[in-house]
Homo-oligomer: A and B are copies of this chain.
Amino acid sequence: MWFECIVSEGLSQNSYIVGSGEQAAVIDPRRDCNRYLEHADRHDAVITHIFETHRNEDFVSGALELAFPCGAKIYHGSHLDFEYGTVVQEGDHFILGSLVLSIIETPGHTEESITIVLVDTEVSREPYMVFSGDTLFPGDIARTDFFGPERKAEMAGKLYDSITARILPLGDGVIICPAHGKGSLCGSEIADHPFSTIGYEKRTNPVLALGKDAFVSRRRTESPYQPPYFRQMEIVNKKGPALLHSLSRVQALSVDAVTTLVASGCQIVDIRSPTAFAGGHIPGSFSIWRDGITSFAGWVLDFERPIVLVDDFNCNLSPVLRHFERLGYDNARGWLAGGFPAWFRAAQPVGISGVCTVQDLKRRLICEKLFLLDVRDRKNREHSGSIPGSHHVYVGELPKYLNEIPKDRSVVVYCDAGFKGSLAVSVLAQHGFHDLTNVLGGMQAWVRAGYPVER
């Protein structure tokens, strides 16, 4: 057999291609699907099966995109009314060369979630791998909060049962191929391991160690953040997204073109670092650094108004555009030709915002009446403590809580490191806040400097 894990960095989304003989199957393909086709070609195989472990809510499915050129059949679980593909059920199995892929239904994260068990009959009848989708991750277990507070306990219980009754008994030596890795929005505690095994998880996964009751009761009280774009993904992935060749191409945009777009209400995304943003930016833009797109675009960008990217040397555009493709931001229109320097060369208005070090902050806290705002997520604030006297609003939820922030005081924002702080500053600036400072290094630097932490 041949096997490849194809990771969408940033999203931390894992897709898989497995092949045997002249056939291959892809599990949870992303939208930019050339790599699957190239792998199949290289092995002189044809992709005949596409499996979706569940209807994803954090990225756009590539199933239709991949099926279009290669003619593969798409399979998903039976408990959702997908508008494309074929339904599979418990016990269905598919043969590719020496491989047998069997379906087990593992509801909990969603109702239609399935897990695929791979047996390589050339070696044995024993399970060799499981594609566990969003059930069991290295070090964590999937979210169960998508069906409203009233069904939290029910879904958590289903998931726990799916894992303990259906997956764990497959055997300690079975390799787990999950749909996500560390950094995914789908599991905040996923370990930074490329793959895992049932045995290793049984020994080390802290959530598994809880036992069902403790797990369910914990899940009952938890309210993980849900970025608004999840809703869009659910709609798109149920009905099937647009094929990429039908979209208009993202191209370079002159300063004039960008000013026109700005005038008609586009979304400017500044993908540079917090220091670059502070040193100068297009007024009204969002500061979402290159590697923060996958986690934060979905909180602040809509799917309607055109999106324009701003970089310095335009060398970070490709990964960001790929992220947009994967997140379904088909309204990405282009990038500022010549980068941000083209903007200031053209004598266009430039926003400049404040930054300070933790040493500066320490000094200012003594002598100024700052409004100190912590924009990290709840968990982070709880685990790592906070700077004494700081208020808390999660960066993703800022627009909802603007009235809690005073417009007549210096607002100093901090997060872990300074990136989310820059996004928060950019959001506040859009809402008429003026005296804004982002703390470079955030909590990490504060702790490193040995300053007092409030818990």
Q: Taking the complex as formed, is A122 at the interface, i.e. its CB lies under 8 A from any CB of chain B?
A: yes
Q: Taking the complex as formed, is A159 at the interface, i.e. its CB lies under 8 A from any CB of chain B?
A: no
A sample of 9 cross-chain residue pairs with beta-carbon separation below 8 angstroms, ordered by A number, consists of A173-B200, A174-B200, A175-B200, A315-B316, A341-B417, A344-B418, A346-B441, A350-B440, A352-B355
- Find A280's partner among B337, B344, B419, B440 (CB 8 Å cutoff): B440
**Interface mask (A183-216 → B, CB under 8 Å = 1, otherwise 0):** 0000000011111111111111000000000000
Q: Which residues of B contact A191 (CB under 8 A)?
A: 120, 122-123
Q: Which residues of chain A from 24 to 46 have a CB within 8 Å of any chain B CB? A: 37, 40-41, 44-46
User: B315 touching A315 by the CB < 8 A rule?
Assistant: yes
User: B252 touching A40 by the CB < 8 A rule?
Assistant: yes
CA distance A349 to B191 in the complex (A): 32
Told that A120-B191, A344-B418 touch, could you supply 18 new A-B pairs with CB distance under 8 A? A44-B335, A122-B192, A173-B201, A173-B202, A174-B199, A245-B245, A273-B339, A275-B277, A276-B279, A278-B278, A278-B280, A341-B419, A344-B441, A345-B417, A345-B442, A347-B357, A347-B444, A347-B448
- Find A350's partner among B3, B197, B357 (CB 8 Å cutoff): B357
Q: Taking the complex as formed, is A453 at the interface, i.e. its CB lies under 8 A from any CB of chain B?
A: no
User: B193 touching A128 by the CB < 8 A rule?
Assistant: yes
Given A123-B193, A197-B175, A252-B46, residue A345 in contact with residue B448 (CB < 8 A):
yes
Chain A residues within 8 Å of chain B by Cβ, number:
93
Q: Taking the complex as formed, is A171 at the interface, i.e. its CB lies under 8 A from any CB of chain B?
A: yes
Q: Taking the complex as formed, is A340 at the interface, i.e. its CB lies under 8 A from any CB of chain B?
A: yes
Q: Which residues of chain A from 349 to 365 have a CB within 8 Å of any chain B CB? A: 349-350, 352, 355-359
- Find A22's partner among B313, B337, B355 (CB 8 Å cutoff): B337
Q: Taking the complex as formed, is A89 at the interface, i.e. its CB lies under 8 A from any CB of chain B?
A: no
In the assembled complex, how far is the CB of residue A360 from the closest CB belonging to chain B, in whole angstroms? 9
CA distance A290 to B312 in the complex (A): 10
Point out which of A1, A172, A337 has the most chain B C-beta atoms below 10 A from its C-beta. Answer: A172
CA distance A446 to B347 in the complex (A): 7
Q: Taking the complex as formed, is A139 at the interface, i.e. its CB lies under 8 A from any CB of chain B?
A: yes
CA distance A128 to B337 in the complex (A): 27
CA distance A54 to B146 in the complex (A): 52
A249 nearest in chain B by CB position: B69
CA distance A261 to B441 in the complex (A): 22
**Interface mask (A421-447 → B, CB under 8 Å = 1, otherwise 0):** 000000000000000000011101110
User: B252 touching A41 by the CB < 8 A rule?
Assistant: yes
